[in-house]
Structure 1
Amino acid sequence: MTVTIFSAFVLLLVIRMPVSFSLAISAAIALLFAGSMDPLIVVQRMYTSVESFSLIAIPFFILSGGFMESGGISRRLISFSSSLVGHIRGGLSMISIVAAMFFAGISGSTAADTAAIGSVLIPAMEKKGYGKDLATSVVGTAGAIGIIIPPSIPMIILGITGSISIGGLFLGGVFPGILMGLALMVTSGIFARKRNLPAEPKATWGERWHAFTDSILALMTMVIIMGGILSGVFTATEASVVAAFYSFVVGRFVYGELKWKDIPSIMVKTGITTGVVVLCIATASSFGWILAAEQIPDKIAKAVFALSDNRLVILFLMNALMLFMGTFLDISPIIIILVPILFPIARQLGVTPIHFGIMTIVNMAIGQCTPPVGISLFVATGIAKAKLGEILGAYSKYLLTMVVVLALITVFPQIITFLPQLVMGLR
């Protein structure tokens, strides 16, 4: 059955069938050919996998991002970022990264992060002579920080799949997300010097204070979400509802930029995006169930330990596998298929749940930037109207920077576990 399911899955991908349908159909074909189980089990598994209260957080965080984008919150975050780092050489690229980090703490979505920042700053960078390649590379990779810094939709899916504390994952993503942003800023600084890129006018302390006060309600979203979760006022799922309600009130009644006419289109986009994510979760679950029934995780674990018993070697092999899968699969299927396989191996090596979880999320973030299915890359190139061949030289250096950060958090788990252990006693 193992050969059948993988052969069918690869064949369906080759003929360009959507990943979610490929997962479900290949699972049904495998059961049909096995003859020992009813293919309707696929449907049953799809239903039970999404019958989870925690998954309610997904549509509400997506809705929250939509309200923020239309309600003027994104623009204020960009203005505040500009006042902080715009005066550094290559200022617009620095602003893009800092703004992406701020927006990541609100949206929980790579696509929303990239679109919100890129629609404003990619055209601005092109006008200032940054080049289409650099403008697209900066935004395309910075947008991926959206799933590392909490809140994060993939962290919710990972927490449910691996039975890992979602609050712990949220805390564990803070320092790696900041480290990723700083590393991308260093890379941008090197490009700025090589290309002699301009800096923006330095903001006065008065201008910085004005930008801060103008964006403070947007920044408070992060405080409300994390503060509420850590204080026990509400769960991560309930936090998504609070975030959506808060962003609606701020965008509509405080800033006044969110119009009633915008809401139907935001709701439709939220429904479509949620449908795509949940369908991937459902179909990937049926696929993963068959792998578990065939004892594939145990077989892979034995094969891995046969290669090496060195902890770091095995962790880097896991990273390589997840990075490879990220080039052609979306986040949800990778998490649901690979986490049940790799997490037990990691536990045998003494890797803590939070360390493994954030390592996985960073792999997924890099996957969002890699062709052919990287959503962050596609959004950025779409805004810039750029082809992959045009940007590959600069883009590859930003990707390499992200891989270096992944290596650092793999070797030094304290970067991840320090905050969860300090606040919640989790590792």
Structure 2
Amino acid sequence: MRTQIAEDFPQGAHDGNAVPGASSSPSRLALADRVLGLIVSVPAAMLVLAEIVLLFSGVMARYVFHRPLVWGDELAGILFLWLAMTGAATALHRGTHMRMTAIVNRAGKEWRAIWDTVSLVASLLFLGLIAAPVYAYINQQWGIVTPALEINDALRVAAIVYGVAVMLLMSVVKLLALGWRQAIIGIVVVAAVVAGLHTAGPALKSLGNLNLLIFFVGVVGFTVLSGMPIAFSFGLAVFSYLSLSTSMPLEIVVSRMDEGMSQLMLLAVPMFIFLGLLIEMTGMARAMINFLASLLGHVRGGLSYVLVGAMYLISGISGSKAADMAAVAPILFPEMKKRGEKPGELVALLSATGAQTETVPPSIVLITIGSVTGVSISALFTGGLLPGLVLALALCVLVWWRARGTDPVSAKRAPGSEIAKLLVISIPALALPVVIRFAVVEGVATATEVSTVGIVYSLIAGLLIYRKFDWKRISPMLVETAALSGAILIIIGTATSMAWALTQSGFSHSLASFMEHLPGGAVSFMAVSVMMFVLLGSVLEGIPAIVLFGPLLFPIARDVGIHEVQYAMVVILSMGMGLFSPPFGVGYYGACAVSKIHPDEGIRPIIGYMIALFFGIIVIAAVPWISIGFLKS
């Protein structure tokens, strides 16, 4: 388990800003930080493991023994909320919540420290504000009994209480660790903003929907730009909006968060994240990449084609962009650098392939969009394959164009015997996407359960075929899965509450009316959607943007004659393009971190790749068959 002690206590016990008192205070804070990390990360890891066992047991009981576990989904749902909240707390402890830090990182050291403190105090404010409504909400749920297990629903909702309480304590420890001087600056800045909004409270109630601009643009913009976790930013904006401009009870925020995080199909998120980590650990990813490299490694730009193909294949297994890039880059980049590829070109292409494969199943974004819009996840899985290939072709054309004038590579063409050998070795890995697809289509497992089929398949392949299985890595992988899942799920929760507030305000009706009556019908609607989601993807990332605007825009797309699966593909790829586009796209910085290449080196090369992706998205938007041609009628 990785702690944040080095980041929280950078100045040591002798710094003038250190917590006053005995010299042992920093060590006590470090101990408190370590203990808080353990009391969330250990249960989170165990919950991930429990969900894997429970879901796969459900598949076996139903498909093999024909005795379905009638209580299985209910228990999975109870454990899932606990996984979401302990995972969110683990992410806070590890510093892995989704944040926009592009602007903060460009500030000087002193200003960056101030912004980090403001972000921390604002997070603390949100957690403090939500504490009382959480307590009221659990009291509301106290008398509700679950239908199958017949247990009190408050035991499930207690997960929110536990998660908020631990995150509140973590934030206090982190604030104390900064030292009084820095903490006071952050408190004063946040207090001034709060006082200003509170003073304006009576006037705000008369502004009507202008409050949406103040809170959901102003407050969200300020907190996101300060580097505050996006989930907390959304939650703080909703609390501010409801408490200062309406008379609605604040427990609604908690109930909407519960609704957003408790959708059982989202349980596929942690399962596929763990599967992605597993295929990298077992050597399955390396087997696929080695086979592709034997086919194309000898041609100009050959390993660039391998990178595009490898990202496509691995995205079809892991569903996690972070896992995809971490599986591919360390294997390919050293050899590509030996062949003269510039680091900036490498990270630019890696980022572009991240955007290219956003629709390749089982993408977490596909699962999310299906859960919030009601579109069939099976149809999305089928429709997402060809759009990814179209963008892969666009990237390969640009790779060919850029490599056409380079000197021939020194690598020799692999002999047929070597290619055949590598093909045989890679067959179990290449078969995994087929196994996953078959299990869903043939009804062996649901879209939520199928990831566990892939996990068991990968375990067997790693132990018996590739014989590369490090048991010591399982525990860190479970913790990492929980942390990343919690960071995603709490965004979905707070974004759901924000979407509810937008709907209650009447904004959704106004937006729907505006988009529906655009001149040009479906063409104009699609064009505006592309530009809007490119922008949203760069600022909010894909998941919160989908939760906020998907339920509003998908019905309009249907009304103007656009197939919902095609619209989903265009929306997801547009957001992916924004997510991996500098200077704001956080996916780009994730690619830089994975490849250990400075972000400045990829700024110029990535422009061409983003243009290629944009033209590919236009083709997908203009030709519906690419997205819906293989759907069952």
TM range (shorter): over 0.9
Query: Greater CA deviation, 328-337 or 203-212?
Result: 203-212
In structure 1, the partner of 2:240 is 29
> Whole-Å Cα distance in 1 between the matches of residues 427 and 620 of structure 2?
31
Deviations 1:325-370 (A, max 9, x none): 1111122101101112211221121011111111122123213312
Work out whether 1:397 is the aligned partner of 2:573. no
In structure 2, the partner of 1:4 is 214
Report the Cα offset of residue 40 of structure 1.
2.2
In structure 1, the partner of 2:436 is 225
Q: Report the 3-state secondary structure (helix = DSSP H, G, I; strand = E; otherwise coil) of the residue aligned with 1:236.
A: coil
- Distance verdict in 2 for CA 1:341–1:107, change over 3 Å: same
Report the Cα offset of residue 209 of structure 1.
1.8
In structure 1, the partner of 2:563 is 352
Deviations 1:150-180 (A, max 9, x none): 1111111100111000000000011111111
Work out whether 1:411 is the aligned partner of 2:619. no
Aligned equivalent of 1:118, options 329, 341, 356 = 329
Deviations 1:242-298 (A, max 9, x none): 112211222233312121111111111111111111111111111111111112222
> Whole-Å Cα distance in 1 between the matches of residues 418 and 486 of structure 2?
43
Work out whether 1:313 is the aligned partner of 2:516. no
In structure 2, the partner of 1:86 is 297
Deviations 1:185-222 (A, max 9, x none): 11111111244462742223322221111011111111
Report the Cα offset of residue 131 of structure 1.
0.7
Instruction: Give the number of aligned pairs.
Output: 422
Report the Cα offset of residue 307 of structure 1.
4.2
Work out whether 1:296 is the aligned partner of 2:507. yes
Aligned equivalent of 1:75, options 286, 293, 299 = 286
Report the Cα offset of residue 380 of structure 1.
2.5
Report the Cα offset of residue 372 of structure 1.
4.4
> Whole-Å Cα distance in 2 between the matches of residues 174 and 366 of structure 1?
17
Aligned equivalent of 1:361, options 572, 577, 593 = 572
What is the correspondence of 1:214-293 to structure 2 with a 5 Å cutoff? 214-293=425-504
8 Å CA contact 1:63, 1:270 repeated in 2: yes
One-letter amino acid matched to 1:10: G
> Whole-Å Cα distance in 2 between the matches of residues 48 and 305 of structure 1?
28
- Distance verdict in 2 for CA 1:91–1:135, change over 3 Å: same
8 Å CA contact 1:107, 1:113 repeated in 2: yes
Query: Greater CA deviation, 154-163 or 106-115?
Result: 106-115
Q: Using structure 1 for the length normalisation, give the TM-score.
A: 0.95
In structure 1, the partner of 2:353 is 142
Q: Report the 3-state secondary structure (helix = DSSP H, G, I; strand = E; otherwise coil) of the residue aligned with 1:328.
A: helix
8 Å CA contact 2:272, 2:318 repeated in 1: yes
8 Å CA contact 2:273, 2:320 repeated in 1: yes
> Which structure has the larger Rg?
2
> Whole-Å Cα distance in 2 between the matches of residues 317 and 402 of structure 1?
17
Q: Using structure 2 for the length normalisation, give the TM-score.
A: 0.65
Deviations 1:12-31 (A, max 9, x none): 12322111110111011100
Q: Report the 3-state secondary structure (helix = DSSP H, G, I; strand = E; otherwise coil) of the residue aligned with 2:238.
A: helix
What is the correspondence of 1:155-166 to structure 2 with a 5 Å cutoff? 155-166=366-377
Query: Greater CA deviation, 196-205 or 177-186?
Result: 196-205
Gaps of 5+ in 2: 1-210
In structure 1, the partner of 2:538 is 327
One-letter amino acid matched to 1:240: S
Query: Greater CA deviation, 195-204 or 24-33?
Result: 195-204
8 Å CA contact 1:90, 1:197 repeated in 2: no
8 Å CA contact 2:558, 2:564 repeated in 1: yes
Aligned equivalent of 1:205, options 416, 419, 425 = 416
Query: Greater CA deviation, 119-128 or 268-277?
Result: 119-128
8 Å CA contact 1:64, 1:248 repeated in 2: no
> Whole-Å Cα distance in 1 between the matches of residues 435 and 410 of structure 2?
34
What is the correspondence of 1:181-192 to structure 2 with a 5 Å cutoff? 181-192=392-403
Deviations 1:73-92 (A, max 9, x none): 11111111112222331111
> Whole-Å Cα distance in 1 between the matches of residues 412 and 450 of structure 2?
38
Q: CA RMSD in A?
A: 1.7
One-letter amino acid matched to 1:220: A
8 Å CA contact 2:359, 2:385 repeated in 1: yes
Q: Report the 3-state secondary structure (helix = DSSP H, G, I; strand = E; otherwise coil) of the residue aligned with 1:147.
A: coil
Report the Cα offset of residue 38 of structure 1.
1.3
Query: Greater CA deviation, 246-255 or 289-298?
Result: 246-255
> Whole-Å Cα distance in 1 between the matches of residues 341 and 605 of structure 2?
11
8 Å CA contact 1:113, 1:146 repeated in 2: no
Q: Report the 3-state secondary structure (helix = DSSP H, G, I; strand = E; otherwise coil) of the residue aligned with 2:313.
A: helix
In structure 1, the partner of 2:582 is 371
Query: Greater CA deviation, 143-152 or 286-295?
Result: 143-152
Query: Greater CA deviation, 91-100 or 154-163?
Result: 91-100
8 Å CA contact 2:384, 2:627 repeated in 1: yes
8 Å CA contact 1:103, 1:146 repeated in 2: no
Q: Which has the higher contact order (CA 8 A, sep 6+)?
A: 1
